[in-house]
Structure 1
Amino acid sequence: MAGMTTARRLVAKIGSALLVDRATGSLRRDWLASMAEDVARLRARGTDVVLVSSGSIALGRGVLGLPPADLPLEQSQAAAAVGQIRLARAWEEHLAPHGITTAQVLVTLEDSADRRRYLNSRATLETLLAFGTVPIVNENDTVATDEIRYGDNDRLAAQVAVTVGADTLVLLSDVDGFYSANPATDPTARRYDEIAEITPEIEAMAGDAGSGLSKGGMKTKLMAAKTAMAAGCAMAICEGSQSHPLRALEGGAPATWFTPGLDPQAARKRWISAMKPRGTLVVDDGAAVALGQGKSLLPAGLSRVEGAFGRGDPVAIRDSAGRSLGQGLSRYTAAEARAIAGRRSAEIEEVLGYPGRAVLVHRDDMAH
């Protein structure tokens, strides 16, 4: 499938039922080893990989001797705390033989809803990928209460895909795609090979069929697809319990692909362009030339700051004659930007009293 063979940056979501044996509560180590081989093969051909992995509560539940029924919040969080360390260690043990360094990243819904946290998460994940690591992302179940929860890793995976600018998202599930009805109860149900637009008719077909250990039904998968497609990311739903699930998907295993009309970069630029600026950065002639060449905006090129804005807020960028050069997301507040205007990056810590980012507006967070 083209979505796999051409992927530059791939996010794969692994459900609890794939990682943890429902009957025993133990890891499915043979499956995990095959998945690690798939990841290593993708990395070897130059594809960045991020794994969004469920399983911490399911693993911790077994260790603490908790029942398989729904748990009170504090018991779920305790199980997550016990299971998360085992989950991270399991991925590390299986990826290390392939020469792959793993990183654990725990997030909450607030980390993507708040623009400042979103930029921090993006910068951290970008840096980890630049170092060649495979980040293992999970919801921070030990602290997340209902109001700051994603609640399912389908939507978390889609948000991670948006955050890192992935072009491919794979939801490894207990179903082999999106069906017109529940195939377990309706013999006439048919699987879609490709969906280019999520219409009201498609949405009406989504049921709530979830498996025993996972929270994500088909509705959450459609919500994930909407998020991914809006960001220019293709998404696949496929059955993941077989060995080497990513290799099988690439080889043409049954799946439903949701195909976007834009690539991730174009979609991100459009998203930034549509925002209402909270302020204006006026730059000198040298910075204007650099921006025209696709460079980031450094504090040294900043002449004047107008308006009041926070970190992560959209700002207009203009030259000294008032001409628009585009807009982007500021990595500093208006007050901080005024303080470091015209300064070299090496001087930022001395001026602000704390270390900051070398870039004021990164080129990836800019639309011309």
Structure 2
Amino acid sequence: MNHKTVIVKIGTSSLTDDSGKLDPEALQTHAEALTRLKQAGTRVVLVSSGAVAAGFHELGLTHRPCSLAEKQASAAIGQGHLVQRYREAFATHGEICAQVLLTRSDFDHRIRFLNALHTLQLLLERDIIPVINENDSVAGDEIRWGDNDILAALVAGLLQADWLLFVTDTDGLYTANPLDHPQAEKIRRIPPFHGSMPAQVDNSKSRLGSGGMRSKLIAARKASRAGIRVYIGTAGKTPGWMLDAVKGRGSGTYMDAEPRRSSRKEQWIAAHSRPRGHLKVDDGAAQALVERGKSLLPCGVVEVGGDFEAGEIVEVAGPDGTLGRGVARFSAPLLRRVKGWSTREISRLIPNHPEEVIHRNDWVSFRGEAPSTNRSPQEASR
């Protein structure tokens, strides 16, 4: 168990009472389980929902916030309240926690990605438990009331964690909602998979949370592809239940991990960042990238999509489909101008410009894998 890193994501439904307010007893129970896990020699990071739930009553609302402004205002009140509750709960066990607020865009930019990594690493080195939440009070389209499933998967990949635990109000994944279908069967273990989601997985949601089981499965798949083992289940009745879960003795659902990528840079390119554009290359360039480990040159590019800058991620497809992702060294406007050109022609036009569109050190091949679903068509073309 020593030196393992475990990310624990706790959903809103596991933190609140029937009225939707934070439940101090539930929060204390989670803090005790997290402390047991940490004191067993594990580096523990908590990704917690509940900021909006902690604030909307004080905002004077009697119902779940509907508008973006209501959600953001509720989060602005609730974030401080939530972390204070955690500080008090952990203090009873002699532990210190620190609040870390992130947005989805923090994972899109390499420098901010590394800044988040260094902050979390230092906290863990100093024996402090990071409590991470999405920065809902400033987030735009990425705000999801009570749902931090994808954020937890991204943090797990960022830290190259060993485990990601999802604490929910349902003890694992079922073939249907067990409340409506008593004959539903629990799915004990899920192997890594690509392509479409298994059709039999239920997508029901709690009244207060927004994640749903399908959301957790999407996040679990993202973590699995980063080489992280995943567990989905309810909080156990004993303080040592998290420790039991990472030892394979949990009663919920496990997802196996794929082989881990060799570096954080590869993980960032492949799974954490969202492509800002897409390229189509000819057959020769496709073979050079995938089979011979070569860089992509402008002469092999036949189509440029999106409005990306040099240094941003682009997805690359060949005649037979998606090949992988890489860091572009050309902006989209420049590449549209010089695609198909030889390096000699480009050097005459722009002296000292890098000759590679994507250098082989900044490339990750999917090699037949289904690419991670981190973008919408609008995102890739903006």
TM-score between the two structures when normalised by the length of structure 2: 0.65
Q: 1:274 Cα shift? A: 7.6
Measured in 2, the distance between the counterparts of 1:243 and 1:71 equals: 37
Residue 174 of structure 1 is aligned with which of 166, 169, 173? 169
For the residues of structure 1 that align with 2:270 and 2:134, how far apart are their CA atoms? Answer: 29
Cα distance, 1:177 vs. partner?
Answer: 0.8
Q: Tell me the residue number matched to 1:43.
A: 38
Consecutive unaligned residues of structure 2, counting only runs of 5 or more, are 272-308, 315-325, 328-361, 365-382
Shift of 1:12: 0.5
| Counterpart residue number, 1:13 | 9
Q: Which residue of 1 aligns with 2:226?
A: 231
In 2, are the aligned partners of 1:17 and 1:213 still within 8 Å (CA)? yes
Report the secondary structure of 1:205's partner residue: coil
Match of 1:27, SS?
coil
1:96 aligns with 2:94: no
1:79 aligns with 2:78: no
Q: Which amino acid aligns with 2:11?
A: G
Distance in 2 separating the partners of 1:133 and 1:157: 18
The one-letter code matched in structure 2 to 1:63 is E
**Distance change >3 Å, CA 6–CA 184, structure 1 → 2:** farther
**CA shift for structure 1 position 98:** 2.1
Give the drift of 1:176. Answer: 0.8
Question: Aligned partners of 1:17, 1:65: CA distance in 2, in Å?
Answer: 21
Deviation at 1:270, TM superposition (A): 5.6
Structure 2 partner of 1:31: 26
Contact 1:109 1:150 (C-alpha < 8 Å) held by counterparts:
no
- In structure 1, what is the Cα distance between the partners aligned to 2:270 and 2:29? 43
* Alpha carbons 1:10, 1:47 under 8 Å: kept: yes
Task: Tell me the distance in 1 between the aligned counterparts of 2:268 and 2:21.
Answer: 44
Q: Is the 8 A contact 1:9 1:49 kept in 2?
A: yes
Q: CA deviation at 1:96?
A: 1.5
Residue 186 of structure 2 aligns to a residue in which SS? coil
Question: C-alpha displacement at 1:206, in angstroms?
Answer: 2.7
Does 1:65 find its partner at 2:60? Answer: yes
Contact 1:109 1:149 in 2 (8 A): no
Give the superposition deviation at 1:246.
Answer: 2.1
What code does the residue aligned with 2:12 have? S
- SS of 1:104's equivalent in the other structure is strand
Deviation at 1:173, TM superposition (A): 0.4
Is the contact made by 2:192 and 2:225 (CA closer than 8 Å) also made in structure 1? no
Cα shift at 1:130: 1.1
Contact 1:122 1:163 in 2 (8 A): yes
**Distance 1:123-1:195 versus aligned 2 partners, 3 A rule:** same
**Residue number in structure 1 paired with 2:151:** 156
Deviates more, 1:117-126 or 1:31-40: 31-40
TM-score by length of 1: 0.68
Equivalent residue for 2:322? Answer: none
Which residue is 2:18 aligned to? 22
1:115 corresponds in structure 2 to 110
Contact 2:161 2:228 in 1 (8 A): yes
Q: Which amino acid aligns with 1:64?
A: L
Q: Quick one: structure 1 residues 274 and 27, their matched pair in 2 at CA, closer, same or farther if it must change by over 3 Å?
A: closer
Cα separation, 2, equivalents of 1:262 and 1:41:
29
Where does structure 1 lack aligned partners over 5 or more consecutive residues? 276-307, 315-327, 330-364
Segment drifting more, 238-247 vs 91-100? 238-247
Aligned-residue Cα RMSD (Å) equals 3.1
Map Cα deviations across residues 116-146 of structure 1 (whole Å, 9 max, x no partner). Answer: 2111111111111111110000011100011
Q: Answer yes or no: is 1:258 the counterpart of 2:268.
A: no
Q: What percent of counterpart residues are identical?
A: 37
- Where in structure 2 are the equivalents of 1:252-291 lying within 5 Å? 252-263=249-260, 266=262, 268=264, 271=267
Distance in 2 of aligned mates of 1:159 and 1:272? 9
Given the superposition, is the C-alpha separation of residues 202 and 61 from structure 1 closer, same or farther in structure 2, using an over 3 Å criterion?
same
Residue 139 of structure 2 aligns with which residue?
144
Alpha carbons 2:75, 2:136 under 8 Å: kept: yes
Give 2:211's match in structure 1, choosing from 216, 231, 243: 216
Kindly indicate which of the two structures has a greater share of residues assigned to helix: 1
Give the SS at the match of 1:68: coil
